[in-house]
Amino acid sequence: MESLPATVSFTPHLARARLKELDTRITELESHNREITWPENTIHDLRQERQALQTRLDTYVYPILNLPDEITSEIFVQSLDPDASPLSPSSPLFLGHVCHAWREIALSTPCLWATIDLFSTTAEANERCLRLLPLWLARSRQYPLHISIIHKPHAPSLRKFFDAILPHSKRWHGLDVWMSFDDIIFLCTSLELPLLRRLKIGMTGLQNVPYSMGSFPTFRNAPNLRSLTTSCGTALFRFPWAQLTSLTLPVVFLHTFWETLSATTKVEYLAIHVILGMDDKDAELLPKIPPLLHLHSLEILAPPGFEPNPKGHVQLLNQLTLPALRGFQFPEASFPATSIPAIRSLITRSGFPVNCLDIIIEDAQHSIEYYRARFPDVNALVVNGVDAFYGENEDVEDSDSDSDPDSGTDTDTESDDRSSDDGDSENNE
C-alpha cells in the first residue's frame, strides 16, 4: 500500500493498515541493512511517514465518541442480548475492552448488568459465574433484576448461587428457572418478591416429584406477579391465580384446568399447549367457568411431540365465555372442520362484535377460501401467514367456498359442485 493520497478520506481503518505495512517494511530494511545498500533516505522517509500517520491517528476523534453518553448508553442496551450470561460474547464486560470512554459509560448503565443468567453444566463454568456474580450485582446497583437459572440434573449444586442472589430477591423483576422440585420449593416458598412481575418455571426430575403430597402454595409473597409461563401443570403448585393477567400452560386436564381458570379472573392473555378432555357426559356436568371479562387473546399452541386433542379443546371452548376476546390463534389440527361450530358458539355466547375478532390459523391444510367462507365477518383472518381478505390469494376462486360452512369436507372439483347443486335442487323440490 502506498502512502495515503491526499484525495482519499482519512479513516482509522486505512491508517492502521498503512501503519502495519510500514512496520513490516522498516523491519525488513533494517534486517537486510548489512547485506544491501539502500538509499540513505529510504528508512528515514518511512519512519517519518509512520510518525506523521501515528500522530494523526492519535488525534483522530471517533464520531461515536462525540455522541452524548445517554445515546451511547441506549445503543449498548439495544445492541446487547438482554439474556446473555456473564460468560457469553454478548456480555457487557466486553464493552470495557474497547476504550476507556465505553467502559465508563457501561459502568454507569446499571440495566446492562441487571440480567443474571446461569446455565450450569460444569463445575468450572459454575465457579466462573459465581466469581462474577458480586461484580454483576454491584454494577446493577438498585436496578430491577432478571434472574435466569437452567440447572440440569446431576449439575453442580445451586446453593452457593442461591446464597449470592437471595439477599437481592426484593429486586427480582423477572425469574426464569428450570430446576428440580426441591430447588423450586427452596427458592419460591418463603422469599419476599415485591417487584416480581414475570415468571417462567419448569421442572426437571419429574419422576421424583411427590405428587401424592398434593399441591404446594408458591409465590404468595409476589403481589405484583402478572405473567406466568409454566410447564409444571396446575396440580402440583398453587400459584396466585387471581392476580395474573398473562398465563401460558402446558398439557393440562380439563377438570383441573376448570378450577384454575375459575380463579384466574383477571387474565388477559391465555395460551395452552394441549387440553386433555374427558367423557362428554362428565364434561357436561362441569359447572360453567365464570365469564373471563378481561381475556382478549386466546392461543392454542402446538408443542412438538404432542398430538393435538381436538375433543379436549372443544370441551374447553364450550366452558368459556369471553366477552372481551379480540384475538384467537390456533393450529388447524387443534380445531379441525368439525370443531368450527364450537368456535361460532363461543362467539355467539360471548356477545362481542364478530367484526372486532382476529383469527389466526396455523399449519392449515384447508384453503384460505375455505376459512373465509366460514368466518366472513371477522375483522382479520390470517391463514398460514396470509391475510385472507387482503393477501395475495384473496381473488382466487375455490369451489369449497360454496360448501356448507359447518361441514367437515371440501368440494374441490366440478363434479362435486354439480353433485352438491343437484342435491340442493332435489331437496328444494
Every domain of the chain and the residues it spans: 12-60
Q: Taking the chain, what is the end-to-end CA distance rounded to the nearest angstrom?
A: 93
- Has residue 132 got a pLDDT over 60? yes
Tell me how far apart the alpha carbons of residues 201 and 229 are, in angstroms, rounded to a whole number.
6
Reading the block at residue 365, the C-alpha cell is 391444510
Q: Tell me the pLDDT band of 324, cut-offs 50, 70 and 90.
A: very high
Yes or no: say if 205 and 181 are a contact pair by the CB < 8 Å rule. yes
Yes or no: say if 404 and 334 are a contact pair by the CB < 8 Å rule. no
Mean pLDDT of 157-161: 77
Yes or no: say if 371 and 377 are a contact pair by the CB < 8 Å rule. no
At 261-278, the pLDDT tens digits run 889 999 999 998 877 777
Yes or no: say if 143 and 172 are a contact pair by the CB < 8 Å rule. no
Of 97 and 283, the structure prediction assigns the larger pLDDT to: 97
Reading the block at residue 193, the C-alpha cell is 418478591
At 35-91, the pLDDT tens digits run 555 555 678 888 888 898 888 888 877 777 778 899 999 999 998 877 676 767 678
Nearest to 253 by CA among 227, 288, 279: 279
Percent of the chain residues topping a pLDDT of 70: 79
Tell me how far apart the alpha carbons of residues 261 and 241 are, in angstroms, rounded to a whole number.
8
Of 119 and 72, the structure prediction assigns the larger pLDDT to: 72
Could you tell me the sign of the dihedral formed by the alpha carbons of 14, 17, 23, 25, in that order? Answer: negative
Residue 189 carries which side chain, given as an amino acid letter?
A: T
Q: Tell me the pLDDT band of 426, cut-offs 50, 70 and 90.
A: very low
- Has residue 409 got a pLDDT over 70? no
* Residue burial 184-200, b: 16+ Cβ < 10 Å; e: rest: bebbbeebebebbbbbb
| DSSP symbol at 203 | E
With a CB cutoff of 8 Å and minimum separation 6, the contacts of 4 are: 10, 14, 15, 18, 53
Tell me how far apart the alpha carbons of residues 364 and 377 are, in angstroms, rounded to a whole number.
20
pLDDT of residue 419: 40
Percent of the chain residues topping a pLDDT of 90: 30
How many other C-beta atoms can be found within 10 angstroms of the C-beta atom of residue 65? Answer: 12
pLDDT of residue 421: 42
At 171-181, the pLDDT tens digits run 999 999 888 87
Yes or no: say if 264 and 295 are a contact pair by the CB < 8 Å rule. no
- Give the helix, strand, coil percentages of the chain, each rounded to 5: 45, 15, 40
Average pLDDT of every residue of the chain = 80
Q: Which residue has the cell 342435491?
A: 423
Size of the chain, expressed as the number of residues it contains: 429
Of 188 and 165, the structure prediction assigns the larger pLDDT to: 165
Mean pLDDT of 336-359: 91
Nearest to 150 by CA among 129, 168, 170, 132: 129
pLDDT of residue 422: 44
Of 207 and 97, the structure prediction assigns the larger pLDDT to: 97
Longest dimension (CA), the chain: 116
pLDDT of residue 416: 41
Q: Tell me the pLDDT band of 428, cut-offs 50, 70 and 90.
A: very low
Alpha helix positions (H), 201-268: 254-263
Tell me how far apart the alpha carbons of residues 393 and 368 are, in angstroms, rounded to a whole number.
8
DSSP H or E run through 55: helix 41-59
- Has residue 256 got a pLDDT over 50? yes
Reading the block at residue 132, the C-alpha cell is 462474577
pLDDT of residue 205: 66
Yes or no: say if 410 and 403 are a contact pair by the CB < 8 Å rule. yes
pLDDT of residue 37: 58
